[in-house]
Amino acid sequence: MRSRERLAVLAREKGSSLASLSRMLGRNTTYLQQYISKGSPRKLEEGDRRKLARFFGVPETELGALKEKSYDAQSEWIEVPRLSVEASAGPGAAATTEGAFDSFRFSRKWLREHALEAGKLSAVRVVGDSMEPLLREGDDLLVDMVSRPFRDGIYVLRLDGNLLVKRVTSQGSGRFSILSQNLSYPPISVMADDLDLVGRVVWKSGRL
């Protein structure tokens, strides 16, 4: 039943004239009659609709208010797996089976804003001190595993069977530098064929 028809029915059931209801709204006496019979105004103003709904004891949706969309909290969040591996910020840690043992929850909106794909993310934990002060032991890293054109940045990578987190820069001619933030660790130069970039680090969490 359309809102105009519903209003006419409610007025009859209540024994209220449209003129008296119009006066209740502070309108001229023909306001609701014109709304019902001529469709003018096209819809009730929000304040008028609210007063009428309260008067009749019905939801505003019966008088033309839009139904609110149901909110599914789960749909607004993405679970990113925390893998049971540690990316070494030191000499290197042997990569183990990458099974998820937990997850981080990220806002779907936040991921979209940063052009991140939900199904191509994982989280790993830092061990060692080679990336201090930027990354500290115990920090958790969000890793974007989408294949993208290379640009200098912080990456989780595999090298000689070890899983590392390092800054990687291009030297050109297919050669890359693997750098630590802690200057106690010397840079490493490798060819592209020897470098396996797992993913780019795009976010970190850690205790203060």
Please state the rounded mean pLDDT for residues 32-51: 90
Global confidence as pTM: 0.61
Identify the pLDDT of residue 96. 43
Q: Read off the pLDDT of residues 76-112 as tens digits, 9 standing for 90 and up.
A: 888 899 887 788 765 544 444 456 778 899 999 999 9
**C-alpha–C-alpha distance, residues 4 and 42, integer Å:** 10
Q: Which domains does the chain have, with CATH numbers?
A: 3-63 (1.10.260), 73-205 (2.10.109.10)
**C-alpha–C-alpha distance, residues 2 and 64, integer Å:** 8
Predicted confidence (pLDDT) at residue 153 exceeds the cutoff of 90: yes
Q: Which residue has the tokens 């929850």?
A: 105
Token pair, residue 25, equals 């709204």
Length in residues, the chain: 208
Q: Which of 136, 141, 154 is nearest to 89 (CA)?
A: 136
The alpha carbon of 98 is separated from its chain's Cα centroid by a whole number of angstroms, namely 25
**C-alpha–C-alpha distance, residues 86 and 8, integer Å:** 69
The SS3 call for residue 117 is coil
Task: Supply angle C-alpha 51, 54, 58, rounded to 5.
Answer: 125
